[in-house]
Structure 1
Amino acid sequence: MQEDIQALLANSSFFGKYKLDTTEKGFLGRGSFSVVRRCERIEDGAMFAVKIVSQRFATQAQREARILEMVKGHVNIVRLVDVHSDPLHFYLVMELLMGQELLARLRKLEKFTEAEAADIMRQLVSAVGFLHSKRIVHRDLKPENILFESEDCNARLRLVDFGFARLLPACVEQQLKTPCFTLQYAAPEVLDLGDTLPEYNEQCDLWSLGVILFTMLSGQVPFHARSKTESATEIMHRIRKAEFSFEGDAWRAVSLEAKQLINGLLTVDPKKRLSMQELSRHAWLHSSASLETPLQTPNVLPSFAGETFNETLQAFLTANRDGFHLMEVDAAPLMKRRGLKRQSAEKEANDKASKRVAAFETVPEENSTSSTHRPTQLGMMTPDVMMNYRIPPAGTIRDTRGSDSS
C-alpha cells in the first residue's frame, strides 16, 4: 500500500511543481477533511499556502476553487494561485499570509481607535460587497477568517476560507437553505431550531459584519455563553431576538454613530436589516477619521476571549443533551429529493476513495462519518479549533470544517 501511494504521489502534478513543508513550522491549519500547509514552488522558491483536500470531498473543493477564481483580483480577498488534483487529493494553492487573524492582531495593540476600526470595516465591506456583486454569499464571516497580509501596521486584510461560500440561486424567489454557521456570528434566519430548513440570502453576511464590528469596538462578542451551564439553544434564542446591549465600560468611548450602525446590522428581520448598499454609504465608515479616543478592545480581549469561548464551547459540548442540533444535510427533505438518484453511485465511489486516502499523513480522516453522510456544522467547534482561534499561528489560512450542497 505504501509503495502504491508513493507511486501516485510521484506522478502528482502538484508534487512536480511544489515542495510540501511537512515540518511543524509548515503546518498552518486543519479541518475535518483537509489540512493547510506551507509549500515552496520549485522553480523559483516562492512560498505559498496549500489547502489539501481528500478526493472524497473533491466536489466541495472544486466549488471553492471556482468561487475563488470568480473573485480574483480584489485586494481584500485571498488570492488563489494554482489548482492541482491527483488520485488522492485536491490542492488549492493560495498566497501565504504572514499576518495574524483579526482578534489576535487587535490583542497585541497598545492603542486601538474607532478610526482604525472603521478602516478595517471599510476593507471588509469592500470585500463582502464584491462577493455580493458576483451573487456570492460567504456564510462564515468571523474574525478567524480575516487575516492580514503581514505584521506591518499598515498591512491590508484578506478575507479567507470560502468552504461555505455559495452562489445565490438564479431565481430571485429562491434562497439558500442549508444551515452553515459559527454560532456567535450566525444570523437569526440561518439558525435551525426545528424540523424545517431555514431560508436566507446574502443578508446573513450583513449580520455577521455587525457582530464583527461589535467585537472590534468592545472586545466582546454580543452572543455568547453567559455561563458554563448555558446551552447552545439559549444562545440561539438570544440571537433570534437580537438580545444584546451597549452597557459596560467598554462602550463609553464608542460613538453614537457606531452604535447606530451596529443596531442597523443586528436587525432580526433581514428585510429591515441594512443592505450592503446602505452599509457602504453609512456616514460612520467615511467620517470616523477624527474619532481617536482609545477603545478598550486590546485590554478586554485577552480576558474576555478565554472565559466566554470556554463557556460557549461548553454550550456546544452539551448541545445534544439539551436538544440543540443541526440537521444533517443529507437528512433534510430537500437533500433527500436531490440525493436519492446518486446515493448508490456516490457510496461506491467514496468507498474506493476512502481506501486510497487512508495512509496519507496530511489529510486526517479520523473524524469522518459514513461515506454517504456529510458532516454537520456542529463539528466545526471542537476544543482544538477553539484553541487555534484564541492563539492562532502566524501565516494561517483557516479551514472551515465540512461542507454542504446548497
Structure 2
Amino acid sequence: CRRLVLQTRWRNSDLDEYDIKALIGRGSFSRVVRVEHKGTHQPFAIKMMEVEFPEGREVCTTELTVLKRVSHPNIVHMVEVFQFPHRVYMVLELATGGELLDRVVSKGHFTERDATKAIKMVLAAISYLHSLGITHRDLKPENLLYYHPGSNSRLLVTDFGLAIVDTSWSLRTTCGTAEYMAPEMVQRKPYWSAVDLWAMGVISFIVLSGSMPFEDDSRTKLYRAIMRGKYSYSGDPWPCVSNLAKDFISGLLRVDPSSRLTAEQAQQHPWVASEAATSSCTNLHRSFPSVGIHPVFLWQRLHNKRHLIKHTGKCDLFYIYILNAVCKTKAALLLIKPAVN
C-alpha cells in the first residue's frame, strides 16, 4: 500500500482508523462513503475508486492530479490518499449542505442576491483553477456542494474526473453533460478553459429561473440550439430579473469563446461584485413556492443524467435525488413526466 499524506494530522493512521457510516454516492468506477475518524470522531468522505481497468485508472489519475495540486476554500479538500494495486481511497472533507439546487429548493425565498453569493464562490474556484492551468469541463449544479447546511456555508466545486491539467494547447475531446457543453466543444473545435465559463452561464440561468437556456429531447436539436447560442429571457421570472443579471449571463453565453467573459472578468462584473446590491429582493421562484424549481425541470435533470451516463458511463445517486425532490410536493407529482424505467 502506498500512502500520500496531504496536510493531515494523522500521518500514521491507516484505513482501519476510519469507521464507515453510510454509502452516500456511487459511480461507474467509484463509491463514496461517509466515515468517521475513530480517534477524533471527525466526519469525512472516502471516495473509493477502482483502477484495475484503464477507464477507471484514467479518471482516478486525473482527479488525484488535480486534488493534490489545489488548495482553495471553494474546492473540495483531499486530506490523504491510500493507494493499492486495484483501488484508491481518497479521504475528502465531507460536504453535508447538499447540492446548489437543493439549497435553492429548500430556501423557498430566493433572490438575485442569493444567486450572486453562490455564483461568486464558484467563480473564485474557477479563477483559481484556471490560474493553475486546470479546466474542470463538467461544471453543473450537481457538482457544486455546500460544506454545511448553514446560511454562511462555503460552496465547493467537486468531481474532477473529467478535468484537464495544463491547457497550454487547445483540446478537442467532447465530454461532460450535453446541456452544459459550450458551442466549440459541441462542434469539436479546439477549445480551452472558456468552456467552464459557458457552463457558468448555463448554471446562472438555471439558478435565476429554474429552467434551462438550451434544452430539447433530441440531442441533434439541442446541439443546434447551443451552436446558435439562442436563448430567451421571456416568461417568469425574467421580468423581475435585473438587466445587470441578464448582462452577466449574456457575457458568459457568447458563442465566440474569445469574446466570452473570463473567470476574472466575471468576478469583476458589477452584478457579481456588488452581490446584486441594486436588484430587488423579489422571490424569483415564487410561482412554485413549495418546490422553488419548476417540477418539469426536475424531469429535465433526470433526462440530462441519462445523457451523461450514455456519454461517459458515469452514474450516481441522482435518481434518489429526483425521487426525494418529487415526493416533497404534490404539484410536482402532477407535472412530472411519468414513464421512467
CA contact (8 A) 2:27 2:315 kept: no
Q: 1:77 aligned to 63, 67, 75, which one?
A: 75
CA offset digits 1:2-32 (Å, max 9, x no partner) = xxxxxxxxxxx853332223xxxx1111111
CA distance in 1, matches of 2:108, 2:131: 37
Q: What is the aligned-residue identity percentage?
A: 34
Change (3 A) 1:312 1:232: farther
How far apart are 1:153 and its partner, in Å?
1.3
Change (3 A) 1:27 1:115: same
253-262 or 51-60: bigger deviation: 51-60
Q: Which residue of 2 aligns with 1:125?
A: 123
User: Is 2:21 the counterpart of 1:32?
Assistant: no
Q: 1:310 aligned to 284, 299, 312, which one?
A: 299
CA contact (8 A) 1:149 1:155 kept: yes
How far apart are 1:199 and its partner, in Å?
2.0
CA distance in 2, matches of 1:300, 1:277: 34
Other structure's SS at 1:66 match: helix
CA contact (8 A) 1:218 1:295 kept: no
How far apart are 1:386 and its partner, in Å?
4.7
Q: 1:385 aligned to 318, 324, 327, which one?
A: 318
Q: Which residue of 2 aligns with 1:265?
A: 252
How far apart are 1:127 and its partner, in Å?
0.7
Structure 1: state its 5+ residue gaps.
Answer: 1-12, 320-325, 327-374, 393-406
Q: Which residue of 2 aligns with 1:177?
A: 172
User: Is 2:203 the counterpart of 1:215?
Assistant: no
How far apart are 1:259 and its partner, in Å?
0.4
For 1:285, give the aligned amino acid: V
CA offset digits 1:289-334 (Å, max 9, x no partner) = 24242232365493855424535755886x8xxxxxx9xxxxxxxx
Other structure's SS at 1:105 match: helix
How far apart are 1:378 and its partner, in Å?
4.8
Q: Which residue of 2 aligns with 1:241?
A: 228
261-270 or 107-116: bigger deviation: 107-116
Other structure's SS at 2:259 match: coil
How far apart are 1:223 and its partner, in Å?
1.4
TM-score (norm 2): 0.82
Other structure's SS at 2:108 match: coil
Q: Which residue of 2 aligns with 1:50?
A: 46
How far apart are 1:130 and its partner, in Å?
0.4
Other structure's SS at 1:249 match: coil
Q: Which residue of 2 aligns with 1:64?
A: 63
Report 1 or 2 for greater relative contact order, CA contacts < 8 Å, sequence distance ≥ 6.
Answer: 1
CA contact (8 A) 1:97 1:148 kept: yes
CA distance in 2, matches of 1:126, 1:314: 30
Q: 1:280 aligned to 249, 267, 271, which one?
A: 267
Q: Which residue of 1 aligns with 2:283?
A: 295
Change (3 A) 1:314 1:111: closer
Q: Which residue of 2 aligns with 1:250?
A: 237
CA distance in 2, matches of 1:149, 1:212: 19
Q: Which residue of 1 aligns with 2:196?
A: 205
Q: Which residue of 1 aligns with 2:103?
A: 105
Q: Which has the larger radius of gyration?
A: 1
Q: Which residue of 2 aligns with 1:190?
A: 185
Number of matched residues?
308
Change (3 A) 1:160 1:124: same
Other structure's SS at 1:310 match: helix
Structure 2: state its 5+ residue gaps.
Answer: 1-12, 326-341
CA contact (8 A) 1:224 1:308 kept: no
Runs of 4+ in structure 1 off by over 4 angstroms are 298-301, 311-317, 389-392
Other structure's SS at 2:88 match: strand
**Aligned-residue CA RMSD (Å):** 2.5
282-291 or 88-97: bigger deviation: 282-291
CA distance in 2, matches of 1:183, 1:77: 23
Q: 1:153 aligned to 148, 151, 154, which one?
A: 151
Other structure's SS at 1:37 match: strand
How far apart are 1:108 and its partner, in Å?
1.2
Change (3 A) 1:390 1:210: farther
CA distance in 1, matches of 2:41, 2:229: 50
Change (3 A) 1:125 1:312: closer
Other structure's SS at 2:231 match: coil
CA distance in 2, matches of 1:198, 1:388: 34
Other structure's SS at 2:46 match: strand
